[in-house]
Amino acid sequence: MGYSYMVIVFAILFVLILIVLHFLKPELDPKWRMISEYEIGKYGWLMRIAFFSWGLSTLSVLLMISRIGNGSYLIYIWLSVLVLALFGAGIFKTNPIMETTKSTVNTIHTICGSIVILTFPILAIVICVRYIGLNAINVPGILIGITVLAWIAQFGFFSSISISQKKDPKAGRVGPTIYLGWPNRIMVLVYALWAITFAMSIKI
């Protein structure tokens, strides 16, 4: 199987597992619970596989562009960090969102998740500019569109927190009235869709 197909297969597997977990764990209200919480309790192993699948999809992107060449050390290193972060998110389980007790494992998970959430759209732009500039993308407009969508999704995620807190100033950082759950799911879906689009668009 070529690396481009591996990108697509593992990204789709990640999304499918998330959909399945939505039904397997209905007690986690998707309006305000993060996807990482699927790691907790029954069927937690499935969420770990989901994170590993996303990590393997990202690793396949790295291997794909390494084989093609014309990359840059910045892109290679950045993708490697994202792969480690995604595997870290799967290895180190998060605490429940309302849990205030600090733990090293939860801290590592939070750092890994933050790396992916915050830096993926930036890397998407770097890769987009690099490979469109090299005339290595079949339909540049589609890749540009999904890259813009990744930024919109990230903005929507953080905006959902800010808007919820303004509506309920007493809600705190997280909780049943902080509606970040669906924006979180949409954001990771768009990130996975970006990888699929890139794999389908690049000239091999």
Sorting pLDDT into bands at 50, 70 and 90, what band is 102?
confident
Condensed to tens digits (0 to 9), the pLDDT of residues 113-128 reads 999 999 999 999 999 9
Mean pLDDT estimate for the chain: 94
Rg of the chain taking only CA atoms, in angstroms: 17
Q: Is the pLDDT of residue 1 over 70?
A: no
In the chain, domain spans: 3-201
Condensed to tens digits (0 to 9), the pLDDT of residues 131-183 reads 999 999 999 999 999 999 999 999 999 999 999 998 888 877 788 999 999 99
| Nearest-angstrom CA–CA distance, 190 and 162 | 21
| Nearest-angstrom CA–CA distance, 157 and 189 | 12
Helical segments of the chain, H only: 3-24, 44-68, 73-91, 104-133, 140-167, 181-201
Residue 104's CB is within 10 A of a number of other CB atoms, namely 8
| Nearest-angstrom CA–CA distance, 188 and 65 | 22
